[in-house]
Amino acid sequence: MSNPSVLKNGLTLALIAGVCSGLVAVTYAFTEDKIEDNRKAFLEQKLKPALSGLFFEGDVTESVVTLKAPHGLPGKDDALIYRLYASGEPVAALFIVTARNGYSGPIRILLGVDISGVVTGLRILEHSETPGLGDKIDEDKSDWVQQFAGRSLEDPAIDGWQIRNDGGEFDQLTGASITPRAVIQAVRETLVYFAENKEQVFAMPGDSAQ
């Protein structure tokens, strides 16, 4: 025969567990929208520095498309493209792609390009490069990343999209050529992709439409 106090304790515990689960579910339901708003605001803050001087309407994150590799853009990770508009017309695209050949592995970059192919900004989102050497690609460590805004495939021409040591027009980092080489290659490949696929970039259905 079962012991009544064991049964009572079991029922009390089950009741407490049920009430707690209910509370968690209710709290989640009430905060879900807020969490989503905060997530979006955080992402917007992260993306905006690559859009310097650009006028666009709506939120940066409104029209994003995620491409699975192989996608023709640099890297084997998913590539993300945020499309930006003004008066219903495309004005720019923001690319999140991966530079493959960093010194310590892949480097995730954010590149803004206006509709005419001019870079509106470059930022480094994730990397594992060495502190004091390759990590100077990070805007908090040096202004290396600032040299790309305003440049395009015409300025410099394609051969110039290399570090100065390799005959190009972009600064390297002292004692660390591998990292900037990897980033510049990814930027160049992304610009070429945009130039060759501009119409398609803005015609692809966004993630929320899929």
Ligand X SMILES: Cc1cc2nc3c(=O)[nH]c(=O)nc-3n(C[C@H](O)[C@H](O)[C@H](O)COP(=O)(O)O)c2cc1C
162 binds ligand X (CB under 6 A): no
For residue 197, how many other CB atoms are within 10 A of its CB? 16
Query: Could you tell me which stretch among 2-10, 113-121, 149-157, 173-181 binds ligand X (CB under 6 A)?
Result: 173-181
144 binds ligand X (CB under 6 A): no
177 binds ligand X (CB under 6 A): yes
176 binds ligand X (CB under 6 A): yes
172 binds ligand X (CB under 6 A): yes
Binder among 130, 147, 152, 197 for ligand X (CB under 6 A): 130
**Separation between Cα atoms, residue 1 and residue 22, nearest integer Å:** 33
175 binds ligand X (CB under 6 A): yes
134 binds ligand X (CB under 6 A): yes
DSSP state for residue 201 in the 8-state scheme: H
For residue 18, how many other CB atoms are within 10 A of its CB? 10
**Angle at CA of residue 139, ends 76 and 42, nearest 5°:** 70
Q: How far is the CB of 64 from ligand X (least distance, A)?
A: 30
**Separation between Cα atoms, residue 14 and residue 29, nearest integer Å:** 22
Binder among 74, 179, 191, 193 for ligand X (CB under 6 A): 179
Side-chain half-sphere CA neighbours of 122 within 13 A: 29
CA 113, distance to chain mean position in Å, is 13
185 binds ligand X (CB under 6 A): no
Q: Which helix (H) or strand (E) holds 81?
A: strand 79-86
Q: Which helix (H) or strand (E) holds 139?
A: none
205 binds ligand X (CB under 6 A): no
Rounding to the nearest 10 degrees, give the CA dihedral for residues 195, 67, 47, 44: 130
103 binds ligand X (CB under 6 A): yes
141 binds ligand X (CB under 6 A): no
Token code pair at residue 42: 């955080």
Query: Could you tell me which stretch among 20-28, 55-63, 117-125, 130-138 binds ligand X (CB under 6 A)?
Result: 130-138
The residue with its CB nearest to ligand X is 134
80 binds ligand X (CB under 6 A): no
Q: Which residues bind ligand X (CB under 6 A)?
A: 103-104, 129-130, 133-134, 172, 175-179
